[in-house]
Amino acid sequence: MADKEFNAFKMAQEQFDGVADILNLDQGTRELLRNPLREFHFSIPVKMDDGSTKVFQGFRVQHNDARGPSKGGIRFHPQETIDTVKALATWMTWKCAVVDIPLGGGKGGVICDPHNLSMKEQEQICRGWARQMAKNVGPINDVPAPDVMTNAQHMLWMLDEFEAIHGAKLPGFITGKPVGMGGSLGRTEATGYGVIYTVREALKELGIKPEDTTASFQGFGNVSQYALQLYTQLGGKTICVSCWDQEDQTSYSFKKESGIELEELLTITDKFGGIDKSKAKDLGYEVLPGDAWIEQDVDILIPAALENQINETTVKLIKDKVKIISEGANGPTTPEADKVLHEKGIVVIPDFLANAGGVTCSYFEQVQCNMNYFWEKDEVLGKLDVKMTAAYHAVSELSQKKKLYMRDAAYVIAIQRVAQACKDRGWV
């Protein structure tokens, strides 16, 4: 989002167009699927702590709901744009389809920076968002969730406002809630664990043991933290992570050749995933420029921050040793970079497969809320593992059978499922 030249939605459409050609989709289906069904723009007036009123811009995009209610997060970010939200909603449609859950794609956002807002101000933004969208979201038509810089508390404020408006208890309206308030056990770990479930399966296919590998992560938020945790449990060694520094308004990488100890690093990390540079140096970490994560001599790269991070320029920094890239973030790799990775023979586990653990567990939360019966954590993560593993192998098998790039294979499966649902409904 920081790159003014980059347009995530154009990238999403370009990716779709390439697969639409492979599938030989008719013109009507192409036009329907390459654009959102609905998009909402609205203003959220907030009385600030200093007595002034500030108006924040909010969005919600419902890309496609042929296979079920729209599903997708709400992110708070100062550089949020409607094109980013449209791209993310589009990718959510393919994400739900590739793991075969009965949901469509949606996404929301507010242009704001929670770093500079009090909890009271953030609560007003959340309640304002719910008021603006109350007639167009809900457990049977569009189910939001947390995303960048939003969390369980934000979701609970939105749920409370939504229930007050409708005069009913509707916990299935939103996912990512606190456990005990309709949230699902395992949801916090789900996206990061899902990334590593796919890495584990890719390593099996390559005949490599996890304990013989090293990795580098971009980002140190929720996804990275739990991916790093599970990867370490499998025996892998992480030598580098990067994060955004709010004070300097830039990113840094933190490297430790002997291997990063997650619990140690968490003691010097803020709630947004920012790592304290001076304390990191005291603990023996090298503090490097933000892009250093991508040029590490490792087996596995996991971009788990924002879009447009592996592009025409940065792809040149990737070492020959890298065998797997698992995209924990949405849209981290541009089409230009994809061509280079394909030529290098790197196994790229595409974003809407690799990070689908989050929406899969959100679906589990929605199911549990709607039937008012909640599963134990082991059951949730077990079901998640089964779903992610099955989805990975379906994509990998098609990739090998048709000699397709992994991203194209995942798109073929997802787009085919959504196109068929639109056709069966008589939309095209």
Catalytic residues: 107
Contacts of 101 (CB under 8 A, 6+ apart): 68, 359, 360, 363, 387
CA distance 347 to 341: 8
CA distance 413 to 394: 8
* CA dihedral (63, 69, 71, 75) positive or negative: positive
Which tokens go with 387?
């779903």
The 3-class SS string of the chain reads CCCCCCCHHHHHHHHHHHHHHHHCCCHHHHHHHCCCCEEEEEEEEEECCCCCEEEEEEEEEEEECCCCCEEEEEEEECCCCHHHHHHHHHHHHHHHHHCCCCCEEEEEEEECCHHHCCHHHHHHHHHHHHHHHCCCCECCCEEEEECCCCCHHHHHHHHHHHHHHHCCCCHHHCCCCCECCCECCCHHHHHHHHHHHHHHHHHHHHCCCHHHCEEEEECCCHHHHHHHHHHHHCCCEEEEEEEEECCCCEEEEEECCCCCCHHHHHCCECCCCCECHHHHHHCCCEEEEHHHHHHCCCCEEEECCCCCCECCCHHHHCCCCCCEEECCCCCCECHHHHHHHHHHCCEEECHHHHCCHHHHHHHHHHHHHHHCCCCCHHHHHHHHHHHHHHHHHHHHHHHHHHCCCHHHHHHHHHHHHHHHHHHHHCCC
